[in-house]
Amino acid sequence: MKRIVIFASGSGTNAENIIKHFHGNGLAKVIQVYSNKKDAKVLERAKRLKVASSSFTKKELEAGDVLEQLNVLQPNLIVLAGFLLKFPEHIINKYPNQIINVHPALLPNYGGKGMYGSNVHKAVVANKEEESGITIHYVNENYDEGNIIFQAKTKIVPTDTFEDVAAKIHILEQKHFPLIVEQLLRH
């Protein structure tokens, strides 16, 4: 059984979707959910779904405490699902090509520091883009610059608000993210 660890900072809808996708499928299991916010809804979701969860401080992440825990857990894949801190190089170096992220835009557009959540969708609408989408990519030492694994697109119409774009992106994440995680674990 392959082991997945999820890092998230917010509500955790993608984390919950991945946990449910792998529940009882025999290939893999989410064994731990981490958050850098002790009051993040993702921790409540994990608890409800009977998945171990815990929070940590930015200092603990950077000092190596989280890496020590990961070394005990021995994950096959680390999934960033709405995780807002820059992932530390010491973890990236220890788990090369085993850390992936979902980004709510078609990278390389709308990536980089500060480009997350509604910031991305507001920029897409402000620039009158005709499409947006999701990018699932490997994590490297730079925000949103790791090798792209998968992209899915959605049309944007001139009347779409940033909330409309966010809803379209959420549908893509819910549909594709667990399937790409599964694909990576099968290879």
Report which of 99, 64, 65 is spatially closest to residue 80, judged by C-alpha positions. Answer: 99
Q: Catalytic pick from 21, 103, 121, 137? A: 103
Active site residue 103: yes
**Can the peptide bond before residue 178 be classed as cis, meaning omega within 30 degrees of 0?**
no
Cα gap 153→62, rounded to integer Å:
34
Cβ-in-10-Å burial (0-12, 13-18, 19+) of 113 comes to exposed
User: Which conformational region is residue 132 in: left (phi greater than 0), alpha (psi within -120 to 50 degrees), or beta?
Assistant: beta
DSSP for 66-128 reads HHHHHHHH--SEEEESS--SPPPHHHHHHSTT-EEEEESS-TTTT-STT--HHHHHHHHHHTT
Q: Which residues are catalytic?
A: 103
